[in-house]
Amino acid sequence: MAISYGNGEPSLTINFATSPEQYFHWKLTLNGATATLAMDVQEDETLQDGYKLKLNSYDLGVDIELADAVQRLRFEHPEVKVVVITSLKPRIFCAGANIYMLGTSTHAWKVNFCKFTNETRCAIEDASHHSRQKYIAALNGTASGGGYELALACEEIYLVEDGNSAVSLPEVPLLGVLPGTGGLTRLVDKRKVRRDRADVFSTLAEGLKGKRAKEWGLIDDYFPTTKFQEAIDRRVEELIAASPKVEATGIKLHPLKIETTENGRDYRYVSLRLHREKRYGDLTMRAPAGDLPTTPEAIQAQGDAYWALQAYRELDDALLYLRVNEPEIGLVCLRTAGDIANLLAVDETLTTHREHWLIGEIILHMARVFRRLDLTARSFFAIIEPGSCFAGNLLELALAADRTYMLNDPAQKIELATSALNAGALPMSNGLTRLHSRFLAKPETVETILAHQGRFDTAAADAAGLVTAAPDDLDWDDEIRLAIEERTSLSPDALTGMEASLRFAGPETLDTKIYGRLTAWQNWIFQRPNAVGEHGALTNYGKPTQAKFDYRRT
């Protein structure tokens, strides 16, 4: 599918929905407890015109398929214990992000592209850590740039020894930018490569081959071509033998049903209304109706129609749509609607049966979607009014928001409520709950809030510190209107930096380094003349001209 670009912006909507039978670039093969994801990028199947995806290089379309495969393996194939990522092309694993795509894309596109690929790699690690699906990279050829970063997201990395294949991160010496999907961070934090060796490796365009790559900790092992597949198969069998035996039957993830209008999108449980002339949108999540399943067997029978799975798949799709297709929507007002009792009943069921494989996967998916929201470069205001149901898992929407407004009108029933899911099942990228991140100065407040009997009305929520402001009914409309107008009048660049700095208080983790430190630096570097100016390294890549740098440090 080719999408035409004019002035660097997409002329068609980018769709994040796909399925294995629609893949252009990946082959998913299942063999009992083993799955193989083989990269076979079709060079003419690009999301933009003007480049070819040679040497298994990738654009967003390639990574959309990979993200879908990782998600489907968790829900549709819980019997899989090991996932092997490899290539179907001879002597090449993956050349990384397509340089010509990056060189001709807008700044916003480059940043959103890197963020999505980061989230996909984090999803691979999440599956390895929580879903008993260990990912190993079988590098049957050279892995450079983003290709090696994909390998770094796997638990183990094995390289073919054919006299030519190497691993490399050539972005600094060749392109004047940084490895964009966590390569530097995973080298020193995850694989614990010595800092000086990581420095040499990251400025060595040709990379390192088998023996030295293993000595430095860049790979786990290397094997000659004639023994490579045998060695991979042997390691796969060892990992399967060490995995716990779990009897599970997967569920099918069907395409979401979306009704698109000129100014919005409607799903079953999520609605998005866009006020483009005012640069903000309303995103509403609806609680489930009654007659909810309460056992794992009943939930499994309901499949992907179960509220906690379908509603959060819809929210995820809406967030991705906003990121890529609505760049001028700078503020999203988060709203909810429905019966709090039904919502809390869902949370009780999820908490009671969280050790069941499917219930566990649903909770992990909800957590990933909330982290996607945390990492989205938009302002979020939670609006709590009559008919709202910010309770339990949906209370996380209010806790994730940059500000929370709750109407103070004693004549109307307006309430919040917590559940067991707020106590740690839905962590942020910093490893903390949103409640703990909110009350870093007074951690004892979290226990008081979670122990609160019953629901919080506006006065109680305000006293507990759960809301930013509680205007009365006389001031409500004006205060919300003014808050929206003020927010959308500010510099979007400054807001993105401010929000990213404020949202992740507390400890730093591998994820926050990737999304905070790396993204901030790459965002800046992508705009510098040394990278993207007329004489920049990224601009001149593949041309007979050479980069010319301004050597002054900033």
Local structure of 110: helix, strand or coil:
helix
User: CA 524, 500, 16: angle at the middle one, nearest 5?
Assistant: 85
Please report the DSSP string for 409-474 in residue order.
Answer: -TTS--EEB--GGGGTTS--TTSS-HHHHHTSS-THHHHHHHT--S-EEHHHHHHHT--SB--BTT
Quote the pLDDT of residue 11.
52
Largest CA distance in the chain: 78
Tokens encoding 159: 């390289």
State the average pLDDT over residues 519-537.
89
Say which CATH architecture domain 20-242 belongs to.
Alpha-Beta Complex (3.90)
Look-up of token digits 């879908």: 68
Least confident span in 5-14, 118-127, 420-429: 5-14
Q: Please, are residues 315 and 334 in contact by the beta-carbon 8 Å criterion?
A: no
Q: Please, are residues 324 and 10 in contact by the beta-carbon 8 Å criterion?
A: yes
For residue 427, pLDDT beyond 50: yes
| Residues forming beta bridges with residue 417, ordered by sequence position | 391
Taken in order 415, 416, 418, 419, the sign of the CA dihedral is positive
Q: Please, are residues 416 and 461 in contact by the beta-carbon 8 Å criterion?
A: yes
State the average pLDDT over residues 171-175.
94
Please report the DSSP string for 47-102 in residue order.
Answer: SSSS---GGGEE-HHHHHHHHHHHHHHHHH-TT--EEEEEESSTEEEE-EE-HHHH
pLDDT in tens, 311-349: 999 999 999 999 999 999 999 999 999 999 999 999 999
What average pLDDT does the structure give for the chain?
A: 94
Quote the pLDDT of residue 143.
98
For residue 244, pLDDT beyond 90: no
Q: Please, are residues 362 and 388 in contact by the beta-carbon 8 Å criterion?
A: no
Say which CATH architecture domain 259-496 belongs to.
Alpha-Beta Complex (3.90)
Q: Please, are residues 86 and 93 in contact by the beta-carbon 8 Å criterion?
A: yes
For residue 382, pLDDT beyond 60: yes
Q: How far apart are the first and last CA of the chain?
A: 41
For residue 13, pLDDT beyond 90: no
Q: How far is residue 401's CA from residue 469's CA, in Å, rounded to a whole number?
A: 13
How many Cα neighbours within 13 Å face the side chain of 314? 25
Give the pTM.
0.95
State the average pLDDT over residues 291-300.
95
Spatial neighbors of 11 by CB under 8 A, at least 6 apart, are 3, 4, 5
State the average pLDDT over residues 54-69.
97
State the average pLDDT over residues 24-29.
98
For residue 1, pLDDT beyond 80: no
Query: Which residues of the chain are in CATH 3.90.226.10 domains?
Result: 20-242, 259-496
pLDDT in tens, 478-490: 999 999 999 999 9
Quote the pLDDT of residue 289.
93
Please report the DSSP string for 471-532 in residue order.
Answer: -BTTTHHHHHHHHHHHHHHS-HHHHHHHHHHHHT-S---HHHIIIIIIHHHHHHHTTSHHHH
Q: How far is residue 117's CA from residue 123's CA, in Å, rounded to a whole number?
A: 10
State the average pLDDT over residues 425-437.
97
Quote the pLDDT of residue 8.
44
User: CA 261, 267, 268: angle at the middle one, nearest 5?
Assistant: 140
Tokens encoding 72: 């489907």
Quote the pLDDT of residue 376.
96
94: left (phi over 0), alpha (psi -120 to 50) or beta: beta
DSSP label of 339: -
* Type and span of the H or E element at 400: helix 395-400
DSSP label of 391: B
Q: Please, are residues 106 and 112 in contact by the beta-carbon 8 Å criterion?
A: no
Residue 520 CA: distances (Å) to CA of 183, 410, 536: 15, 44, 19
Q: How far is residue 415's CA from residue 426's CA, in Å, rounded to a whole number?
A: 21
Q: Report residue 5's pLDDT band, with 50, 70 and 90 as the boundaries.
A: very low
